Amino acid sequence: MSKVNRARKSASFAPLRNLTLLEELVIKLKGRSPDVPGLGVFHGRSGDGKSRAAAWVGASDHMAYYVEANDFWTPRAMLRAVVDAMGIAMPPHATNNELAAKIAEELETSRRPLIIDEADHLAKKDMIDKVRALHDMASPGTASIVLIGEEGLPQKLQRYERFHRRILDFVQAEPCDMDDARQLATLYCPRVAVADDLLQQLLDQTYRSTGRVAVNLVAIADFAAGEGLKEIDAAGYAGQRINTGAAPAVRRFG
């Protein structure tokens, strides 16, 4: 298990809907027929918890390998990140083709999917076909790769016809709902019972963003601790600022 995955595995966790959706996509890819391609796409708004779900699935034993793309990635940086995530020792002078062949071999023999988060960076850098090549280098029906990205990732992938026609399924991440909010409250407010009316207020004012609901629950936990509260509802939190994601207004003096 990679350093990233070990760290992710010990991180705080709540079983949200998007985790289930991603797990179902991974299971579908792994269980497909040999003559069916093995690329999947998990996409949605920023803040809907895609990366948290991806990191957890990647950290789960034998579920998937997980890497996170960034704006500095080159094809070689991507290959190196993947072999590191797979725990494969490769010499510094290994060529890109040798790295790619080793990755394809591991995908084929382990049958563990590769999850690439922040995949919009790959589209921006015209690296999508490099990912498709990793899939195609393995024996048919063996390699599975999931790209995770923003809402518009499927449209970006249409430019890459050979990649696009190998996509088995597109799965859209869902906004935070009440069940998710309750799970997050258990995680971030373990010492205070948060009433549904306050959770609904958070959902409404944050546009059901998982990340922003979590940030506000941290603030609620701090407020409740300061007030010595064991339970809190919308009335009890009245007058406190809810972080909606909007920038604070400019202060004016004089």
How do the domains of the chain map onto residue ranges? 3-172, 178-232
214: nearest Cα among 183, 172, 173, 191 = 183
Q: Is the pLDDT of residue 28 over 80?
A: yes
pLDDT at residue 12, rounded to an integer? 59
Residues in the chain: 254
Average pLDDT over residues 156-166: 96
Contacts of residue 51, defined as CB under 8 A and 6 or more positions apart, other chains included, come to 68, 117, 118, 148
pLDDT at residue 13, rounded to an integer? 66
Q: Is the pLDDT of residue 192 over 80?
A: yes
pLDDT at residue 62, rounded to an integer? 60
CATH entry, 3-172, from 3.30.200.20, 3.40.50.300, 3.10.20.70, 3.30.70.3270: 3.40.50.300
Reported confidence tier of residue 1, pLDDT bands at 50, 70, 90: very low
Average pLDDT over residues 100-121: 97
Q: What is the rounded radius of gyration, in angstroms, for the C-alpha atoms of the chain?
A: 21
pTM (predicted TM-score): 0.88
